[in-house]
Amino acid sequence: MNVTGSAKSTTPVAYILRLLSLLIIDGFLVWFGYRQALLGNYTLVVLLAIVGMFISAVFLFNRAYPLRWMAPGLALMIMFSVYPNFLTIYVGFTNYGDGHLLTKEQSIIQIEKARYLPEGGSAYTWTAFKSDAGEYALWLLDETGIGYLAFEGQPITQVQPGEMGVGELDSKGIPQSITGYQRLNALLAVADPNLGEIKFGADENIVQIQSPSRAAAYEQKYVYDPEQDAMIDQETGKIYFQVDGTFRTVDGKVIIPGYQAYIGIQNFKDFIVSPALRGPLVRIIVWNFIFPLLSVFLQFSLGLGIALLYNDPKFPGKRLVRSLLLIPYTIPSLITILIWRGMLNPEVGVINRMLSSLFGANPAWFADPWLAKFALIVVNLWLGYPYYMLVCSGALQSIPSEIYGAAKVDGTNIWQSFRFITLPLLLVSVGPLLLASYIYNFNNFNLIYLFLQGGPPISGAATRAGHTDIMISYVYNLAFEGGRGQNFGLAAAVTLLIFLVVIGISLIQFRYTRMWEEVSENV
Amino acid sequence: MSDPKTSSSANSLFTSLKFQRRAGIVIRWIIAVILIIFAVFPVLWIISAAFNPSSSLATQHLIPENASLANFRTLFNSDVFPFPLWMWNSIKVTSISTILALFVTTIAAFAFSRFRFSGRQNLMKIMLLFQVFPSLLSIVAIFYLINQVGDVIPFFGLDTHAGLILVYLGGAMSINIWLLKGFFDTIPRDIDESAMVDGATHWQIFTRLLFPLMRPMLVVVAILSFIGTFGDFILARILLRSTESYTLMVGLQIYTAGMFSQKWGVFAAGALLGALPIMIVYLVLQDQIIGGLTQGAVKG
Query: What span, in angstroms and rounded, lies between the C-alpha atoms of A206 and A343?
Result: 60
CB spacing of A330 vs B193 below 8 angstroms? no
Q: What per-residue confidence (pLDDT) applies to A6?
A: 43
Q: Tens digits of per-residue pLDDT, B83-92?
A: 889 999 999 9
Q: What per-residue confidence (pLDDT) applies to B12?
A: 57
Q: Where in chain A is the domain with CATH 1.10.3720.10?
A: 273-522
Cα dihedral B67, B68, B69, B75, rounded to 10, equals -80
Query: What span, in angstroms and rounded, lies between the C-alpha atoms of B89 and A135?
Result: 44
- Per-residue pLDDT band for B5 (boundaries 50, 70, 90) equals very low
What ipTM describes this predicted complex? Answer: 0.84
H-run or E-run covering B91: helix B83-114
Query: Is the CB of residue A274 less than 8 Å from the CB of residue A462?
Result: yes
Query: Is the CB of residue B274 less than 8 Å from the CB of residue B255?
Result: no
Strand A115-116 and strand A219-220: the pairing is antiparallel
H-run or E-run covering A207: strand A205-211
- For A479, the closest of B140, B169, B252 (CB atoms) is B140
Contacts of A139 (CB under 8 A, 6+ apart): A126, A127, A128, A129, A147, A148, A149, A150, A174, A175, A178
CB spacing of B28 vs A476 below 8 angstroms? no
**Which residue has better confidence, B119 or A187?**
B119
Distance (Å) of CA A291 to CA A12, A262, A297, A374, A379: 62, 34, 10, 10, 12
Which of A210, A387, A213, A217 has its CA nearest to residue A302? A387
- For B233, the closest of A390, A391, A446 (CB atoms) is A446
CATH assignment of A273-522, among 3.30.365.10, 1.10.3720.10, 3.30.1860.10, 3.40.50.11890:
1.10.3720.10
Query: What span, in angstroms and rounded, lies between the C-alpha atoms of A454 and A467?
Result: 6
Q: Tens digits of per-residue pLDDT, B177-209?
A: 888 888 888 888 888 888 888 888 888 889 888
Q: Tens digits of per-residue pLDDT, B63-83?
A: 666 677 888 888 888 777 788
Q: What per-residue confidence (pLDDT) applies to A205?
A: 75
Residues of chain A contacting B115 with CB distance shorter than 8 Å: 1, 4-5, 65-66, 69
CB spacing of A433 vs B167 below 8 angstroms? no
Q: Tens digits of per-residue pLDDT, B228-254?
A: 899 899 999 999 989 899 999 999 888
- The alpha carbon of A309 is separated from its chain's Cα centroid by a whole number of angstroms, namely 45
Query: Is the CB of residue A387 less than 8 Å from the CB of residue A307?
Result: no
The DSSP bridge partners found for residue A147 are A141
Distance of residue A157 Cα from the nearest chain B Cα, in angstroms: 33
Per-residue DSSP letter, A253: -
Query: What span, in angstroms and rounded, lies between the C-alpha atoms of A41 and B148?
Result: 7
pLDDT digit of tens for each residue in chain A (523 aa)? Answer: 444 444 455 678 888 888 999 999 999 999 999 999 998 888 899 999 999 999 999 988 888 888 989 999 999 999 999 999 999 999 999 888 888 888 888 888 888 877 777 766 667 888 888 888 878 888 888 877 788 888 887 888 888 777 777 877 777 778 877 888 888 877 777 777 777 777 787 777 778 787 777 777 777 888 888 888 888 888 888 888 888 888 888 887 888 788 888 888 888 888 788 877 788 888 888 999 999 999 999 999 999 999 888 877 777 888 888 888 888 888 888 888 988 988 888 877 888 888 888 888 888 888 899 999 999 999 999 999 998 888 888 888 777 777 777 777 877 788 888 888 888 888 877 887 888 888 889 889 999 998 888 878 888 777 788 899 998 898 888 888 766 678 888 889 888 988 888 888 888 877 776 655 555 555 5
Query: What span, in angstroms and rounded, lies between the C-alpha atoms of A71 and A77?
Result: 10
Residues of chain A contacting B137 with CB distance shorter than 8 Å: 85, 88, 443, 472, 495, 498-499, 502
CB spacing of A81 vs B28 below 8 angstroms? no
Query: What span, in angstroms and rounded, lies between the C-alpha atoms of B185 and B214?
Result: 11
Locate the domains of chain B by residue range.
4-74, 82-257
Query: What span, in angstroms and rounded, lies between the C-alpha atoms of A369 and B248?
Result: 30
3-state helix, strand, coil in chain A (%, to 5): 55, 15, 30
- Looking at residue A104, its amino acid is K
- The alpha carbon of A203 is separated from its chain's Cα centroid by a whole number of angstroms, namely 33
- With CA atoms as reference, the chain B residue closest to A389 would be B290
Residues of chain B contacting A4 with CB distance shorter than 8 Å: 115-117
Q: Tens digits of per-residue pLDDT, B212-227?
A: 888 878 887 888 888 8
- Per-residue pLDDT band for B59 (boundaries 50, 70, 90) equals low
Q: What is the 3-state secondary structure (H, E, C) of A376-408?
A: HHHHHHHHHHHHHHHHHHHHHHCCCCHHHHHHH
- For A81, the closest of B36, B171, B283 (CB atoms) is B171
What's the whole-number mean pLDDT along residues B23-49? 88
CB spacing of B39 vs A488 below 8 angstroms? no
Distance of residue B5 Cα from the nearest chain A Cα, in angstroms: 30
- Per-residue pLDDT band for B18 (boundaries 50, 70, 90) equals confident
Distance (Å) of CA B289 to CA A116, A390, B225: 68, 11, 11
CATH number assigned to the domain covering B82-257: 1.10.3720.10
Region of poorest pLDDT, from A85-94, B105-114, B282-291 = B282-291
CATH class of A12-92: mainly alpha
CATH number assigned to the domain covering A115-220: 2.40.430.10
